[in-house]
Structure 1
Amino acid sequence: MTTARQDALELSPEILETAAECKAWPFEEARKIVKRYEAGAFPETVLFETGYGPSGLPHIGTFGEVARTSMVRHAFRILTEDKVKTKILCFSDDMDGLRKVPDNVPNKEMLRQHLGKPLTQVPDPFSNEYPSFGAANNARLRAFLDRFGFDYEFASSTEYYASGRFDATLLAMLERFDAVMEIMLPSLRAERAQTYSPFLPIHPRTGVVMQVALEERKLDAGTIVWRDPDSGELFETPVTGGHCKLQWKPDWAMRWAALKVDYEMSGKDLIDSVKLAAQICSALDGTPPEGFNYELFLDEKGQKISKSKGNGLTIDDWLAYAPTESLSLYMFQKPKTAKKLYFDVIPRTVDEYYTFLSAYGRQDWKNRMNNPVWHIHDGEPPRTELPVPFALLLNLVSASNAENTDVLWGFITRYAPGVTAQTHPELDRLTGYALRYFEDFVRPAKTFRAPDDVERAALRAISDSLATLPEDADGEAIQDAILDVARGIERYQDLQRKSPTGGPGVSGAFFQMLYQVLLGQERGPRFGSFAALYGVKETRALIEAALDGTLAG
């Protein structure tokens, strides 16, 4: 378990003054918590919570929710001058019944014998290392969070129920059963409403979490009476001590009230559930937490990402091709806007991260605290400069057919003398990512096309123009030489006249042709920069290969 309290922050007057006006969304969210306690003193610890269903493995959404919550927590600490204790509680709903056998686990037949039981009473299907399926997945969750250095405290639903931590609030819910039912019943289908109860007793013989109607409630005894639907036998079960659990929406509300949760965010698909839980929390004399509903991720076709469909990126997918910080940036940007989450977004996000990082050192405090890297790195971004963007590295791999980082570094060092793997370890890390990304996604999709007669003439003209430049010509000189050729070709002059903004018409169409013919892809970064990195002589050789048909086909 990681510590629940971070080291003290170093807060300069500039940081405190700027934070008061900062419009970045973590600060806007943190102000909700500050306002929550305007009428009185803060509690001993302001509690941020995230929830986790341990019937499956941690996923990219888990990362996003904890990362975003951590950003809000950090902003809150700044606004309160780090005088208020805070804690992120990662709560595992491991007392839930196993409803179905997951597709991605071994020993499925064994698991089928335990359907309906709490996850912490189902044997570990992976090995004998853990006492239960829930414990095994909880361990994976903690390892997952620790891997990224999150500062949190872990909580098990089973442990909290069994220890009596929830007993007082469970008895309050039993007492206010009718009020809870009035909130829940309008949200249920008619058939389910007939047998619905917020309390789910654990069967004393089978250990199954029972979804049954109640025959009687005994407030003085703190028990419920229910009938086994198979045997017809009546049972009386305490609602305390882990003998019962709650349906998930009342459970969520009960947890908010019992633990006095101050902040919890959730996906847009849970908006209605949040409203119901907030009403139940209020019925229990609790105060619902602050928070917001973030948008869900979409696949490349614009469809909602589903774990069961497998139509989106996993966290390991992303981290195989890009650093963790780039994923944090993706989570930071526009959390209330639906975004596509598929492999094509990775290179752009990587370059955006390093662009923000490079800009940080030149910014004043206002712009620094609106810069995503300030929030990603808890106010202490590293100082890193990349002489070669990630997108350019990908194009370099594509053109050079490099199979290892040594080949790439040969080009990089010639392009930027003095830059080596030792002086720029971050760039060296990106060369490895670029090689993997190219091999898995760019190479299989490369489709070269042969140039037509007009394009062949243009390519020859470009090669001739490049021949007049020195081998160490910079990207601007190469870009200008190529544009001069484009402006002299009638086809692209027509496009320029049709373009509402002029220049982009000629450059967009012409440079797209270069990437299609020379690199077998639809787009790329600034071509002059690529040619400067690849080399004038090598670029001319690439053009000759396209003209003699070596590349096409």
Structure 2
Amino acid sequence: MSQLRDLAMSSKAWPFEEARKILKRYSKGAPEKGYVLFETGYGPSGLPHIGTFGEVARTTMIRRAFEVLSDIPTRLICFSDDLDGMRKVPGNVPNAESLQAHLQKPLTSVPDPFGTHDSFGAHNNAKLNSFLDTFGFEYEFISSTEYYQSGKFDEVLLRACEKYDDVMKVMLKSLREERQATYSIFLPIHPETGRVLYVPMKHVDGKNGTITFDDEDGKEFTLPVTGGNVKLQWKPDFGARWAALDVDFEMYGKDHSTNTPIYDRICEILGGKKPDHFVYELFLDEDGHKISKTSGNGVSIDEWLTYASAESLSYFMYQKPKTAKRMHFDVIPKAVDEYHQQLRAYASQDETQRLNNPVFHIHGHNVPASDMVVPFSMLLNLASVSSAETKDAMWGFINKYAPEASPETNPGLDDAAGFAVRYYHDFVKPAKVFRAPTDQERAALADLAAALKDVDAAKAMIDKKNADMGNGEAPIETLNMADADDLQSVVFAVGKNHGFEPLRHWFTAIYEVLLGASQGPRFGGFIALYGVEETVALIEAGLNGDLG
């Protein structure tokens, strides 16, 4: 373990870089509370989304890295801001009109329109817990309502009351002049209507821990700040929560980054030590716009899981978190194949390499073996040319290529075959555009078909390529027309013999004429998977103009 820890101290993997920063907080020993606390936040006004997954997944990666570096225990809490007032009625709930009367009430005081829980907030919290449990995250759930109402936040609320002017000074600097006139860090919960009020304070009594205000009808109230009578505005709530819980780490998106000094300073005013932060870049849709759960652009968690595994999504989340990335459906195949490439590499890597491998940060010390004997990108092309409607149809081809594979021994491959069929029909098929070959391409494709029909013709193609290149190789004696590498040599030789320069133009022609796409798989491997006779028939159909 000590050797692994030494290697982790110099690892350039970003979770280790972040974990080392946290470790510096406790270079003299474990914190007084006995553990390092990681936090993620959740706004339960809507259902969990892909950003929620990303925050918990990435925080878990850093937590896992910290546990390699240190023996100090850790906790991860997911904090739900469910005391927040419902500002508008969501458009995607049943009986939406029944919620109009509950606007501005805390989400945990709004009836559940689904009729399954005590409140709308409780319904969405349950969805969050189910969501996180599905992915196997280790976390503890905390409800804002429970912490405010039970008195667990009373100490920090009394301190906020006592330090009201200092906290307000921090906040007012960040507000427009018209907002400054009515702003207060405290949001009273109306004792009669139960609504969360956005009203200015007439008086804040730091000694007695009370606030005095007029409601919208001009009626004056004085309430204690403790016991769930008030909640804090969201920016002060960030800092107060850090102080109250002694949070050591929290990450959030770039859209929060300008607020970091505000959160930190309020935490310090309220007697806490500001946590370490990690600000990640936001995801973009296919047009380069920020993904928003409100507008529904980009890819949702359910959509990703319709076409690929959760592990491939974790892999995507691992990659360059400080770089803005497009998150559209076309990134899924690449993420799947790269994830499995890393799984295969992990098996033969030394400890240093393993600590830098994304799959360690996804799985920890329990990295599984990949059972994907066929890349996902090739499965997509197989689905395309075979017009497969089910994964069972795909297995007929897969077993030609890998007779030892089966749905039982290769469950990941079995899932991927089903994912590939769905992805092909939803995204690839509608975008397929076949073109006719040029004269040069037509001659080359005809020769490729001839070479695939006759092993002697294939040998002659390779011998001609070797002679033209002047590499002095002896004539080829054996050629296995079921082997992906040998088939790739045939494809390569045909392209060279027909003067494609650079050679990628030959492969582009194959993809555009035969597959209706500008990119494709390693074609020798594809022939081995699809079948030589089937590929010959595909080429002849392309030459006859029957594919478009």
The two structures have a TM-score, normalised by structure 1, of 0.92
Q: Partner residue of 2:60? A: 70
Deviation at 1:533, TM superposition (A): 1.2
Equivalent residue in structure 1 for 2:156, among 159, 162, 169:
169
Check the 8 A contact 2:163/2:206 in 1, yes or no. Answer: no
Distance 2:197 2:431 in 1: 52
Worse-superposed segment, 307-316 or 35-44? 35-44
Aligned to 1:286: 272
- Percent identical pairs in the alignment equals 56
Q: Does 1:87 align with 2:75?
A: yes
Contact preservation (8 Å) 1:471, 1:535: no
- Residue equivalent to 1:29: 18
Q: Which moved more, 1:384-393 or 1:66-75?
A: 384-393
Aligned to 1:484: 493
Tell me if 1:41 matches 2:15: no
Check the 8 A contact 2:37/2:75 in 1, yes or no. yes
What's the CA shift string for 1:390-416, capped at 9, x where partnerless? 111111111111222232222222222
Distance 1:74 1:263 in 2: 13
Kindly indicate whether residue 199 of structure 2 is the aligned counterpart of residue 190 of structure 1.
no
Distance 1:202 1:13 in 2: 53
Q: Give the match's secondary structure for 1:292.
A: strand
Q: Return the offset for 1:178.
A: 1.0
**Selected match of 1:107 from 86, 95, 108:** 95
Q: How far did residue 441 of structure 1 move?
A: 1.2
2:503 aligns with one of 468, 482, 506:
506
Q: Distance in 2 between matches of 1:405 and 1:193?
A: 61
SS of structure 2 residue aligned to 1:113: helix
Paired position in structure 1 for 2:430: 444
Question: SS at 1:187's partner residue?
Answer: coil
Match of 1:374 among 360, 364, 368: 360
1:317 alignment counterpart: 303
Q: Tell me if the contact between 1:14 and 1:365 (Cα under 8 Å) persists in the aligned partners.
A: no
Structure 2 residue aligned with 1:534, among 517, 530, 533?
Answer: 530
Paired residue for 1:499? none
Say whether residues 1:464 and 2:450 are aligned partners: yes
Matched, 1:130 2:120: no
Q: Would you say the 8 A contact 1:101–1:108 is kept in 2?
A: yes
**CA displacement at 1:109 relative to structure 2:** 1.2
Matching residue of 2:517: 521
Separation of aligned partners in 1, 2:429 and 2:480? 28
Equivalent in 43, 55, 60 of residue 50 of structure 2 = 60
How many angstroms does 1:272 deviate by? 1.3
TM-score by length of 2: 0.93
Structure 2 alignment gaps of length 5 or more: 456-478
The answer (yes or no) to whether the contact 1:471–1:537 under 8 Å persists in 2 is no
Distance (Å, rounded) in 1 between the aligned partners of 2:188 and 2:404? 69
Count of paired positions: 524
Contact 2:164/2:206 (8 A) holds in 1: no
* Range with bigger deviation, 69-78 or 477-486: 477-486
What's the RMSD between the two structures over aligned residues?
1.4
Report the Cα offset of residue 122 of structure 1: 0.7
Contact 1:472–1:535 (CA<8 Å) still a contact in 2? no
- 8 Å CA contact 1:471, 1:536 repeated in 2: no
> CA offsets per residue over residues 217-255 of structure 1, 9 Å max, x none?
1223211110123x2111101111000001000011100
Could you tell me how far 1:40 is from its partner in structure 2? 4.5
Out of 300, 310, 322, the residue aligned to residue 286 of structure 2 is: 300
Cα deviation digits, residues 187-242 of structure 1 (max 9, x gap)? 1111111111000111111111111111111223211110123x211110111100
The one-letter code of the counterpart of 1:457 is A
Q: Work out whether residues 481 and 487 of structure 2, in 8 Å CA contact, stay in contact via their aligned partners in 1.
A: no
- C-alpha distance after superposition, 1:55-82 (max 9, x if no partner): 00000110110011111111111111xx
What amino acid sits opposite 2:485 in the alignment? Answer: E
* Alpha carbons 2:9, 2:20 under 8 Å: kept: no
One of 149, 153, 171 as aligned partner of 2:140: 153
Once the two structures are superposed, the pairs formed by residues 98-497 of structure 1 within 5 Å of their partners are 98-127=86-115, 129-229=116-216, 231-469=217-455, 472-490=481-499, 492=500, 496=501
Q: Which amino acid aligns with 1:50?
A: T
1:400-451 per-position Cα deviation (integer Å, ceiling 9, x unaligned)? 1122223222222222232222332221221111111111111121122222
Give yes or no for contact 1:281–1:287 (8 Å, CA) kept in 2: yes
Which residues of structure 1 form unaligned runs of 5+? 1-11, 497-504
2:73 counterpart letter in structure 1 = K
Question: Which stretch of structure 1 is more off in the superposition, 463-472 or 262-271?
Answer: 463-472
Q: Identify the residue that residue 500 of structure 1 maps to in structure 2.
A: none
Rounded to whole Å, the distance in 2 between the matches of 1:210 and 1:387 is 59
**Matches of 1:264 and 1:430, distance apart in 2:** 34
The AA in structure 1 aligned to 2:488 is: Q
Question: Bigger shift: 378-387 or 61-70?
Answer: 378-387
SS of the residue 2:503 aligns to:
helix
Q: Give the residue type in structure 1 aligned to 2:106.
A: P
- Match of 2:212, SS state, is strand
What amino acid sits opposite 2:110 in the alignment?
V
Match of 1:178, SS? helix
Q: Distance in 1 between matches of 2:100 and 2:408?
A: 54
**2:9 equivalent in structure 1:** 20
Q: Distance in 2 between matches of 1:37 and 1:28?
A: 15
Conserved 8 A contact 1:47-1:260:
yes
- Code of the residue aligned with 2:494 in structure 1: it is V
